[in-house]
Structure 1
């Protein structure tokens, strides 16, 4: 039996039933794949006919779907923690065939703890294990000898909307005005005696940011993610097709209908050609091309089909899904590889004080030319560092500000 909330659009799937104790329902949600929820029961451990009918039922589900199959599979001789057979397994061929079928159907079993005495009989098979954020057992109901299997599943509906962000247009920057502002600031800055380096740095950064806001034009990015292979020409053709479609609805005409079909076919061919041209540019572009890796990674990210993130982590026998708890578990794991700090012994301290001092490091000379050289070597495709200054700004400011960035500005 499957109980589904009325708030969800669901429908029974009688076509998926076979000659075994199984039932299926399909949940339809806007923006995600169809979810097929199944309940299965195998009465005997060695019931090969029931398993055969189960595989037949699973093969009927469309490939591009999410599968949740729960039930009592009566397979006690599997250690699901490491997914191996127990040493006392008497029907190894049956169990090995079961594990092989799961792998062939790309299904993963999520219940890792015993559900009846010391055996894991109640299983949860899914095609998307990254959706499952929590799996645990609860006390049984009434006189049942099986524990309740509880799962928490997280599904993101629809395509994620990219937040709007501010984009600086460095090509339209008034570099002369910025240079003039920084010269004025440099004179007032040098006239003051700064004893706190943090205050000096904040003063410099605030003045530079204020000048950048005034003289660097900005624009707001789009919140919707457009398909990059839809060129302006193709978009104009799509608008033309839509107008023709509305005209045809108002006044049907055989000639217009034929024209609409030809235009649809032409647009489809243009979209295919533009898509494969874009893919060739992303995948087969030269490694030295600026931003090549960023473009490829962005394409892969926008084609994800599952949740990307840190999976639930287990600590002290409990599975945790809270982000803060997972961060603390990882931090504890990283700290475990370092030796704990120990106080130095008196013998060690005396040996360090009585031995000859170590050789001193040569003096570091910082020159304006050297600073400019390092800043010019920054990659414009990298993100800002701790100073919050974009490499694009640093490179262009030096090029537009001869002879030296250091002489026309202030370094913290």
Structure 2
């Protein structure tokens, strides 16, 4: 999530789609990106898979269901957003496992067909059809031919023309309206992923003014003496009896949230929200991300083995630098939590703490 946060902070991104999240019910706090609403569909019953969409707070959105009933477990998610032309746009994301059976393929195409009937739609995702020739829109594989025929029936055009994993175009962007999707770019992968990032513009997305009129805690005027007393009373003897570290953390987190409502006044915010950097984002992280981008461009322009290895090295280094920066910040925050209550609580409120942070 660290590199994703960096990307979000440095680019004006309204909607983020992620496939193969590998999330489950334990992934709650560590999926939060401040300033974004998250929609997610985790794979049920087994590990892997899953899809998610992040939508910026100033883009109105809501989740929609395309098929009222389905006999198959399609890994997909749909949201609806308003457009500047007073119409609605449906945005869907799919993850199709390489071993998906034909019945689920049929159901997936049925869902796509229904979506294009009722809404102006943009679809993105990892469809895992490696043998399709997207220049000539052909394939020699039966499953891929059925998929191409399904897209043709829905009048959908596939817009990605560069490889997204190795030499294959697995990650697709589909649209049925000309010029609805613009400026498609394929860039280097995120983290340790072996799939490249795809970015594009949707010119018709409507936005509300990015300002807040919600209640926010005024940490400067908090009664921390009272808060310490209440937390101590609430947690006395209970944390050590918790059955697991996860249960102890939940108890501590819930206690902090409950007591801050009693001890910290709230104010109404109306001002525009400035762009904030994550507190762990230091110059080492920025340098590592920049080096990774440069090495990918170099490898893309000259795909030699030396350049591939250099990019892989930068990719691994970037991951370690981000992980270290976040760990150092969390350890320092935990160490100073008694002296700097305001910093700890504001970080907790913003959702910047990872789920495994523990303050002794």
TM interval, shorter chain, is 0.3 to 0.5
Q: Highest relative contact order (Cα 8 Å, sep 6+), 1 or 2?
A: 2
